[in-house]
Amino acid sequence: YQDFKDKSLTSNLKTHTISCFGVASIDTMIHRNTKASQVSATNNNQGCDWQQRWKSSVSSNKEAMTAGCPNLVLPSLQTISCDIHAAFNSMLEHPGQLNCAMDMWTSPNHGTFVVWTVQLEYERSLLLFALNIVEVSEISDVKYSHLITKLNNLSSSIWVMY
Domain ranges within the chain, ordered by starting residue: 4-161
CA-closest candidate to residue 162, choices 98, 79, 74: 98
Question: Mind listing the pLDDT tens digit for each residue in 96-147?
Answer: 777 888 887 777 776 777 788 888 887 888 888 777 777 776 554 555 555 5
CA-closest candidate to residue 75, choices 47, 48, 55: 55
Rounded to the nearest angstrom, the gap between the alpha carbon of residue 6 and the centroid of all alpha carbons in its chain is: 20
Question: Mind listing the pLDDT tens digit for each residue in 29-87?
Answer: 666 544 444 444 444 444 443 344 444 445 556 666 666 777 777 777 778 778 777 87
Answer for the pair 118, 131: CB distance below 8 angstroms, yes or no.
Answer: yes
Residue 56: phi, psi to the nearest 5?
-85, 180
pTM of the model: 0.38
